[in-house]
Each structure stands twice: as C-alpha cells, then as structure tokens.
Amino acid sequence: MNAPTLASLFSQSELKAISGRFGDRNHPTAVMIGDPVVVDQSTTQIAATTDLAVAAVLKADPQWLQRAKPRLLQTKDLTEPSGALAEIRAYGALLGSEFRVEANTAGGTRPSAEFEVFALDNTQVTIEVHAKQLHGNEQALLRKQAHDLNSKMDALEGTANGPHVLVSTTEVYPFGRPDPAKPNDSDRTNAISKLCGRKDREHQAKPGIPFVLWLDFQDAAATLLGAGETAPLSSAAGAILSGVAWYAFYGWRGAPVLHSGDAPFGRQRILTMEHDGRFRQGSNVAAVILSFPEAIALLENPRIDCALNDSCRRLFLTIPAFDLARSLVNWGGKSLESIVEAYQQTIEAAAAVVGVVP
C-alpha cells in the first residue's frame, strides 16, 4: 500500500476546484500536489516534506487533519491554505521528534496553530506556527502584472497571425520595496525589520511556560529566506553579507548591516540597523524555529527568564532535518550571551575592514 500524500486527502472535484491560476499565483495546495507540474528542486523538496508530514499527522491525529482540510481548499484568501500547510509541516516534524505532542483542538479553525510539546522530564513548551507571506504591496504588484498580461493576451486573441508569446517580468522584494528617500532602507534592512516584528504581539504565550515561535519559510510562492541567513555573516561573490535572521533576533540599534553593492574600489556599502533585534526588546519568545526547505534551525533567546531547559534543547535536536550548525542553542542556560557578544565584535571588525559608509 502506498503511503498517504497530500493529494490523497481530496476528491477529484476538490482537486479541480483548486486547479489553475488564482489572480497572480497558483493555489498553494495545488502546487504541493504537482498542479502545475513542479520543475524546481526547492518546490519538489517542500512537496516531499509536506507529504511526509501528512502521513505522520494522518497516523497520529486524523481528526486534526480533517479539521484543517477546509483551509487547505480555501480559494478566496490564499494565505489560509499557506498557513494550513505550514501547520501540517510543523506538526509532522514535531511528531517525528521525541517530544510528546498535543495539538490545539481548534487547529483547523484558528488563523494560527498552537501546539503543546512535552519533554522527557514533562517540561511543557507552547509552539505557535506562522507562515511568512510576500509583503502586501508586492502581492498587489504581482496581481497587477497578471491582470495586465491577461488583458494583452485577450487583446491579441483572434488578431495575431500564428502563434505568439508574451513575456512579462517584474522585480519583487519579498519583505517590502526599499524607500530610496530613507538613508538606511534596503531589501536587507527591510527583511531584518519585518522578521523582527513577525507575530510581535506574542498573545499565545502563557505565564510560566516557554513559548516558541515556529516560522515556516517553505511557501512555494516565493523564496523569502534561506537557511544561510541564520549566520551573523556570510559571503557571496566576494562580498560579506549580514545574516537577516541573525540580525532580526540578535542585532542591535546601530549595528552595521553589510551589503553587496557598487561601492568603489571593491569596498562594500554599509547601512545602519535602526532598531534592536527582537531578543533585545524584552520578548516573551524563548526561541524561534526557522523551517527552511533544506534545514530546520533553532535560535534561542539568551535574555529571558522563562527559557527552554536542557531536556527541551536535547529533544529539539531530534526533529527531522534539524541542523545544529545553523542554530544558536543556549547550552546550560549560560553560554549564548557570550557567543552573541563575540559575534557582535566580529561584525564590527569585519565592517571596519571591508565596508564604506555611503
């Protein structure tokens, strides 16, 4: 018998209802089942991860999956199926770990999922899942592009002699378009700011229980962030780049943000971070899980009283695809603050060597 997949949850009429284009994009659920046919490696990997998660959830909690089904088929607001898919992937990953997992019984009807997991010493952790979407203005831009292209195709229909091809391109900034009037505004600083503020109300946190925010970056509509962004610094094409995820949580007001750019004589452009990272703002989040197509990483908050304990930290390592090399874990509850301070000194030294302030 074949293992259950996402596609196996739906009837042919349900699959037909989510086939085709919905404004500027294909339906997120349809993309995960190969409609249209998937050709890029990242989407293929995300679809495979989703199928594995469906099989795990269907075995452990089929009623939860049934409640999530209406959201997977939603066509009016495509953030709903994207959110439901993120929750399924998170649930499947947690079920593959050594945590005992309890899903919120309202998981199929609430806009954000919440899970309670329990370590071997019975320590409880609350996990809330969020699927990052394209910035609203960028979504509107893509909708306009799709509308204009369809209008041109309609105008050509019946008038052109023989086959014809229309091509339309646009530049998309997933976290928002930089404002050239703002001196420290760029695609990278925008991404840092938006990720820092994601789910900033933290209203799902419960007193005395560590609260973890699970951020899913596996929406096939756009590649918003890669696993390499959890490092404080990385390199590409001879340039040093500031890590978006690292800065979003551990950065500080006044931190140099390193960009690739067209500064003269091989120097790099440097902008200034205008706010503290989330973990420097008195956040109630004990840690964030960043779920990428290629890896799952844990970034822990070193400045919180209601922190994870070592039993929980140990079990997070048992999540399939967990990557310790891309994570920052506060082993023993004491080590991470000094690591962050050392990285801060490294960033400042690197900026002094390679950068030029515009």
Task: Give 8-31 pLDDT, tens digit per residue.
Answer: 999 999 999 999 877 778 899 999
DSSP 298: E
Token pair of 239, please? 């340039």
User: Token pair of 50, please?
Assistant: 């989703």
Residues 87-123: b if buried by 16+ CB within 10 A, e if exposed: bbbbbbbbbbbebebebbeebbeeebbbbbbbbeeeb
- CA 58/CA 69 separation, integer angstroms: 12
pLDDT given for residue 40 in this prediction: 79
Q: What residues pair up with 241 in beta bridges, in sequence order?
A: 234
Closest by alpha carbon to 146, among 62, 21, 12, 295? 21
Q: For residue 69, with 0-12 CB atoms within 10 Å meaning exposed, 13-18 middle and 19 or more buried, which class applies?
A: middle
Q: Which amino acid is at 60?
A: A
Residues of the chain with pLDDT under 50: 107-113, 138, 147, 358
Query: Which alpha helices (DSSP H) does the chain contain, by range?
Result: 12-17, 28-32, 41-60, 62-72, 79-95, 136-156, 187-196, 244-250, 310-316, 336-354
Neighbours of 149 (CB within 10 A): 14
pLDDT of residue 108: 46
pLDDT of residue 110: 47
* Residue 137: exposure state from Cβ atoms within 10 A (0-12, 13-18, ≥19): exposed
d(CA 28, CA 44): 13
**Order of strands, edge to edge, in the sheet holding 268-272?**
256-258, 268-272, 355-356
Could you say which DSSP state residue 284 is in?
Answer: S
**CB 224 within 8 Å of CB 134:** yes
57 within 8 A of 5, measured Cβ to Cβ = no
- Exposure string for 336-347, b = 16+ CB within 10 A, e = fewer: beebbeebeeeb
* Domain ranges across the chain: 14-104, 137-172, 187-356
> pLDDT tens for residues 240-263?
899 999 999 999 999 999 987 655
User: From the CB of residue 232, how many other CB atoms can be counted at a distance below 10 Å?
Assistant: 22
Name the β-bridge partners of 201.
none
The DSSP element (H or E) to which 286 belongs, if any, is none
Q: What is the pLDDT of residue 204?
A: 74
Structure tokens at 58: 């269907």
- 313: which 2 tokens? 């930290």
Q: How far, in Å, CA of 212 to CA of 299, rounded?
A: 10
pTM for the model stands at 0.86
pLDDT for 175: 61
